[in-house]
Amino acid sequence: MVALARKTRQAGERIRVLIIDDSAVIRQLVTHALAKDPSIEVVGTAVNGSTGLARIAQLHPDVILLDVEMPDMDGLEMLRRMRNDPARPRVLLFSTLTRRGAEVTLDALALGADDYVTKALNAGAELLPKIKQFFLFPADPSRAAPVLPTPPVGRAARPPEVLAIGVSTGGPNALTAILPQLPPDFPLPILIVQHMPPVFTRFLAERLQTCTSLKVEEATDATSVIAGSIFIAPGDHHMQVRRNNGKVMIKLDQSPPENSCRPSVDALFRSVAAVYGHSAVAAIFTGQGQDGTLGAKVLNAHGAYLIAQDQVTSVVWGMPGSVVASGLADCVVPLERVVPEVLKRLGKK
């Protein structure tokens, strides 16, 4: 799907939502949950993809909440038909925390769904911020002009030893886009925190393995951090690194969430700063919220090099936008320029 810019919403202007699900119970529950927020208006519902496409043309929603398994036309086929439409609404997929749900969700994200929410009785609490993440509001700090810092005086030009990545909304597609750019002899270990629940991260690792010759795995506790390997933080666990007898090891834990996230980018970045210092390169990609900003401050203080994805190529410029607005990014580049920037730090073109 084509990249969509965030739309600005002024005071009193509501976000138009269309619910597409064959379950009358789900449609009623979600409609009721969203009705509590005065900034959101449910403009209609549909029971399958074909009706949904017609309702989109009639109602012009800003966001659609989309089920996958529906009669006549399912959600995946609907996404295929919308894929290259620059006027399409944002798409939030209804998902389940199961093996099947993880597989289908990753399929839908690959077809251009922007994010997903789980079907649950408390769906409203998760839905509201997910819907609002695609819009700019007058006081949104991510609208601030980028401020690039002056690198610390005398920062040593030490060769990089690790690449740490933090990403959330839009992450699976972003990772799928950059990993094929890595050469087979890429000399750094790569540590990735992608905000996802358990099961999902394992399937994400399996899918990413199909697009790179480097080894990709869901991280396990006490694993050695090996150059040329890619480690994905498992859902519901913070992933950090520790040095033990000269070896760098992965440490997983279930300490309290940070920024409402577990795994948290902040937790990874802090540990990378402590272990690798100014020999670390970190990248912050598309995602909702500010997870990664506090960790980026620690990395910056240790002299690490920070890359932020630009606003144009981000699905949501929350996480990278926060790092940029805080003056912590050494460079702000489109997604396709991230790997070349890392290779440049390694002295490669």
Catalytic site residue from 168, 279, 322, 326? 168
| 168 tagged catalytic | yes
Four-point Cα dihedral 164, 166, 170, 174, nearest 10 = -10
Q: What residues contact 337, with CB distance under 8 A and at least 6 apart? A: none
| 291 tagged catalytic | yes
Which residue has 């890595």 as its token pair? 182
Catalytic site residue from 21, 62, 195, 266? 195
User: For 186, phi and psi rounded to 5 degrees?
Assistant: -55, 125
Alpha-carbon Rg for the chain in angstroms: 20
Integer Cα distance of 76 and 105 in angstroms: 9
Of how many residues is the chain composed?
Answer: 349
Integer Cα distance of 159 and 314 in angstroms: 28
E strands, the chain, where?
7-8, 15-20, 40-46, 63-66, 90-95, 115-118, 135-136, 162-167, 190-194, 215-218, 229-232, 238-244, 247-253, 280-284, 305-309, 331-333
Residue 42 CA to its chain's centroid (Å):
26
Catalytic site residue from 21, 115, 291, 330? 291
Integer Cα distance of 40 and 31 in angstroms: 10
Q: What residues contact 270, with CB distance under 8 A and at least 6 apart? A: 240, 294, 295, 298
DSSP string, 286-333: SBSS-TTHHHHHHHHHTT-EEEEE-TTT-S-BSHHHHHHHTT--SEEE
Active site residues: 168, 195, 291
